[in-house]
Structure 1
Amino acid sequence: MTTPLQDHGLNPGPGHSPTLRRPRGGRGLVPALGLGAMVVSMMQTLLVPILGTIQRDLHASAADVSWLTTATLLSAAVCTPLLGRMGDQYGRRPVLLGVLAVTVAGSVLAALTDSLPLLIAGRVLQGASTAVFPLAQAVLRAELPARRLPAAMGTVSGTLAFGTGLALVGAGLLTRGDAPDYHRVLWLATAVSVLSLVAIAVYVPASSAASGGHTDWRGAAGLTVTLVLLLLPISRGTVWGWTSGWTLGCLAASGAAATIWVRVEQSMPDPLVDMRVLVRRPVFFANLAGLLLGFAMFSQFILVSALVQVPPSAGYGFGASALGASLQYLLPSSLVSLVAAQLAGTLVRRTGPRQTLAMGAVTGVVGFALLAAWHSSSAAVLGSGMLVGVAIAFGFAALPAVLLAAVPPEQTAVANGVNSVARSVGSAVASALVATLVATAGQGHPPAEPRFTTCFAIASAAFALIALFARFGMAATPGDHRHAGAPKAASKPGAGPVCPACPAC
């Protein structure tokens, strides 16, 4: 009889001693990787609360300034799978250091400039930081024994959620007053990135596994074209118009590019993304769940912030400032996520990642349903937001564990990278939906309250789908683990089983 851990790939199972995998990670490994994950979420949300300040200081239009978020999104989507694959091939430590060095360079460039094009260029470089999270998950798999993996994944995932709250609060505190200066926020990004770079250099072992092989540049180019053509109209739809020729043309071209990319990847001996792995049932549904998780997370961030800043004269809302919205309503949710991630790690170990993901998703359904039905008091919004924070933490902790059980070690980073891209797409869709349903009132008038209710209900439905995917979609089927074999497992003595999800390993 197997335990939940053995069923889900987080325990070597009968016949495998934990000592087969020799732990190399010291005590500082998990905090260092957690700090790196915090950089990821900070770069994604740091400038969102102060776009108005940047627009005023640079005398730019709202459409031009919105490229500061679009550029980072596109950069993250393009770089993450490629850098994840390079980490699997050439070693995670050097790629992690390279990614963080690029992030530091982008942060310094953005902090020093008063030019919008250079600021956008800096944000493009910062977007590469998104690759840190999948690389961190791959390092944990390579360096820690199975018994420590769930807790370590929970910690790293928790700091990913916490970074969003820290970014919001930091941006608010550093730009308060009569003469706010956005440069201070970018220097904060620089400081955190440098600290993370030093921590990775000190605590991540140089012996992280590398599978070798060549880089599939054709696949990388095809994926870049596909993602840019997909994300560009999603993120710019409110500016271009959802039925404009630019929007519809880009979406159609994205579909054509995706078809060509898949065919190219299937013909490659060492593809950027192994399609056979991507279409495995657990991986496929994990990526769909990642998309929905990104949608729900960004929906909470935008919707709650907008809701609480609506003046009470509109018949709802609390008239909070941007800083008040961050400190009072969003930071508590991030702190709860940090704590809940530790619980999620324990649950992954005891009950398995699918059950943990399902429990978190149900919590998210309840949280958003309460927000839809009852957002007339601060206590209700705060409490419901905390439930959503728990759900997000459970999702971040469980999805990497689902992928861990479904892919071989040499594809860990790229599999998590694709999942990160799915979350980015979900975030872009959430931003576009909210901009369409909530932020289009115009003329300085707040949107009608039912628009918030509708968006909260949609986010609740997203978590309901995640729960269904976890329950019925992510179960491994026969043949899912054919990548493992005895010769491969024996090729690296002392490294532990190649595929901890396979009983044969």
Structure 2
Amino acid sequence: MTDTVRTPARSRVLIAALGLVALTVAVLQTAVVPVLGVIAEQLPASPVAVSWAVTANLLAAVASTPLLGRLADLYNKKRILVVVLGVVLAGSLLAATTSTLPLLIVARVMQGVSYALYPICVAILREELPEDRVGGALAMLSGALGFGGGMGLVATGLLMHGSAGYHRVFWLTTIFTALVMIVAMAIIPSRPANGEGTVDWLGATGLAAGLSGLLLAITQGGVWGWAAPPTIAVAVLGVVILVAWWWWERRLEHPLVSIEMLTRRAVLLTNLATIFVGTGLYFGFLGMTQFVQMDRATAGYGFSASVLYASLVFLLPGAIAGVVTATLSGRFIDRFGARPVLVTGALTGVVGFLALAVAHDRTWQVIVAGVCVNAYISLAYGALPALVVSEVAGRETGVATGVNAIARTVGSSIAAAVVAVLLSHVSSRTGLPPEHSFVVIFVAGAVTAALALALIAMSRSTKRTATTTVDSLAMNHEWG
């Protein structure tokens, strides 16, 4: 670490640049979902076929994130980051210029590597900043994730107003990624590689195959049938491969992911809690988005909101509250510790989801509940990586936070599948999902927040250094 990044001004510039990179992840993740129906209409293609634009993106994410995190631990982090941004840029450009579904799916696979950007950013922060600034910086990154998700929806609503073509969304991601790449190249320092060991390519292949099998069963089970032979086959194959991968990694001196690290009590429980936080994210995001767009005259509930109206009125306040909460959470983590902040956030999430379940007839009720849910997600996104970082060595930061990011992705995929199942049952009278389906979604969000709270409460570290590193995080933290 050099003295240049110890100064508050340079630290803030670096954090802002990495926050912009994290923003890319969120925008790419949320901007495409609202236009899937438009893509199906304009290509044309069936909704089932177009759903692969999301599924392929998630499969690429789980396959690439741990490997890219490991590469960042071993080699020049800036170089790995720029390469990933280059792949994302190429995928965005391909999506913006193609009008065939197969090439669009290829483009979404290329965009899927963007999920690795967040753990690489965390590894860079840990390498560049003094330890007493890491917790607050992680909170800023989490704020960028939350804000980026909301702004992605708003931008999509603005771009797709009227009968616009879906290519506009991908031109947005192309331009945005290009600007982020320029900022990253100009601001992020380049350090010589200081990692030890080699890349376990066989382990990377096995982990990618096993996780992809499980994720494929989750995302396509509703289409294939949950008890259908293809669903069962890919799920079982995924489990078998992961068991073999576990056995293989335990034998290696330099594994892709340390099994000892994964099974450490605090890391294991934190990753499990992250799965539940990921489910909460999508229960809130998908549940609220679709609920407010329901035609009240037909369904008897909802607000008949367009994509633009839903984004600006119902989702934007929560996104703004999320980024404010995440920004403040850095100071909260410094003063009170990551666990108390996360427990407080989870309680807020329980309140928000339960409020949505019981009171959602008026606009202000949905907005206030959405603010609570977004505050929960933002606090969790800031505290969870901080807890993971506190438990691992610096040389394991990238891969450890990569696994944590995958846990969040798996949780989001599970929630998306559950929402799809619940909303697929429509009323014979209206042709729309009954109101109680949304109530179940919001109650499920409250349950997952409560489970995350319980797991974090049980995740007390047995390492003295861990509790002092992040749970205290240097009480003299200064932002200049």
Where on the TM-score scale, by shorter chain, does this alignment land: which range? over 0.9
Distance 1:378 1:271, change over 3 A: same
Look up the match of 1:237. Answer: 221
How far has the Cα of 1:249 moved from its partner?
A: 1.5
**Are the equivalent residues in 1 in contact too, given 2:283–2:444 (CA < 8 A)?**
no
Alignment of 1:464-479 (within 5 A): 464-472=450-458, 474-477=459-462
Pick aligned residue for 1:195 from 175, 179, 182: 179
Could you tell me how far apart the structure 2 residues matched to 1:202 and 1:377 are? 47
Change (3 A) 1:20 1:352: farther
Say which of 98, 105, 125 aligns to 2:90: 105
Deviation, 1:200, is: 1.1
Mapping of residues 67-146 of structure 1, within 5 Å: 67-146=52-131
TM superposition shift of 1:327: 1.5
TM alignment of 1:304-343, pairs within 5 A:
304-313=288-297, 314-343=299-328
CA distance in 1 between counterparts of 2:465 and 2:325 reads: 31
Report the Cα distance in structure 2 between the residues aligned to 1:195 and 1:298, rounded to whole angstroms.
28
| Per-residue CA distance 1:201-232 (angstroms, 9 max, x = gap) | 11111126631421110100100110111001
Look up the match of 1:379. 364
Q: 1:91 to 1:210 in 2, by over 3 A?
A: farther
Deviation of 1:442 after TM superposition, in Å, equals 7.4
CA distance in 1 between counterparts of 2:73 and 2:463 reads: 26
Whole-angstrom distance in 2 between the partners of 1:91 and 1:412: 14
Q: Which runs of 4+ in 1 moved over 4 A?
A: 18-22, 478-481
Partner of 1:8 in structure 2? none
Please identify which structure carries the higher helix content.
2
Does residue 409 of structure 1 match 2:394? yes
Q: Does 1:462 align with 2:452?
A: no
- State the alpha-carbon separation in 2 of the partners of residues 196 and 311 from structure 1: 39
CA contact (8 A) 1:157 1:396 kept: yes
Secondary structure, counterpart of 2:248 in structure 1: helix
Q: Would you say how many aligned residue pairs link Structure 1 and Structure 2?
A: 465
Q: Give the aligned partner of residue 477 of structure 2.
A: none
Whether the aligned pair in 2 keeps the contact of 1:355 and 1:470 (CA below 8 Å) is: no
Give the aligned residue type for 1:232.
Answer: L
The residue aligned with 2:244 is 260
Change beyond 3 A, Cα 1:480–1:28: closer
Give the Å deviation of 1:387: 0.3
Alignment of 1:434-473 (within 5 A): 434-441=419-426, 445-472=431-458
Task: Give ranges in structure 1 of 5+ residues lacking alignment.
Answer: 1-17, 482-496
Indicate conservation of the 8 Å contact 2:143/2:323, yes or no: yes
Query: For 1:262 and 1:19, how far apart are their aligned partners in 2?
Result: 38
Residues 207-286 of structure 1: pairs in structure 2 closer than 5 A: 207=191, 210-286=194-270
The residue aligned with 2:6 is 23
How far did 1:195 drift? Answer: 1.2
Contact 1:438 1:447 in 2 (8 A): yes
Q: Over the residues paired in the alignment, what is the CA RMSD in angstroms?
A: 2.0
Deviations 1:138-159 (A, max 9, x none): 1111111123222211111100
1:35 aligns with: 20
- The residue identity in structure 2 corresponding to 1:467 is L
Alignment equivalent of 1:169, drawn from 154, 171, 174: 154
Assess if the C-alpha contact under 8 Å between 2:222 and 2:420 holds in 1: yes
Q: 1:19 to 1:190 in 2, by over 3 A?
A: closer
Match of 1:13 in 2: none
Distance 1:387 1:206 in 2: 39
**1:301-338 deviation digits (Å, cap 9, x = unpaired):** 11001111111122211111122111111121111111
Q: Which amino acid is 1:272 matched to?
A: L
**Quick check: 2:388–2:400 contact (8 Å CA) kept in 1?**
yes
Distance 1:413 1:387 in 2: 30
Distance 1:268 1:107 in 2: 37
- CA distance, structure 2, for counterparts of residue 167 and residue 134 of structure 1: 21
Q: Are the structure 2 counterparts of residues 108 and 478 from structure 1 closer, same or farther at C-alpha, using a change threshold of 3 Å?
A: closer
Label 1:479 to 1:266 Cα distance change in 2 as closer, same or farther (>3 A).
farther
C-alpha displacement of 1:20: 10
For the 8 Å contact 1:84–1:413, the answer to whether it is kept is: yes
- C-alpha separation between the residues in 2 aligned to 1:72 and 1:236? 13
For residues 199 and 425 of structure 2, the distance between their equivalents in structure 1, rounded to whole angstroms, comes to: 44
In the superposition, the TM-score normalised over structure 2's length comes to 0.93
**Structure 2: which 5+ residue stretches go unaligned?**
474-480
State the one-letter code of the partner of 2:442: F
3-state SS of 2:424 partner: coil
Judge conservation of contact 1:80–1:128 (CA < 8 Å) in 2.
Answer: yes
Contact 1:280 1:480 in 2 (8 A): no
Distance 1:184 1:92 in 2: 32
Closer/same/farther in 2, CA of residues 186 and 375 from structure 1, 3 Å limit: same
- Does the CA contact (< 8 Å) of 2:349 and 2:373 recur in 1? yes
CA-CA distance at 1:469 after TM superposition = 1.4
Instruction: Map Cα deviations across residues 390-435 of structure 1 (whole Å, 9 max, x no partner).
Output: 0011001101110111000000111110011011100110010000
> What SS does structure 1 have at the residue aligned with 2:194?
coil
Selected match of 1:433 from 415, 418, 438: 418
Query: Contact 1:80/1:130 (CA < 8 Å) preserved in 2?
Result: yes
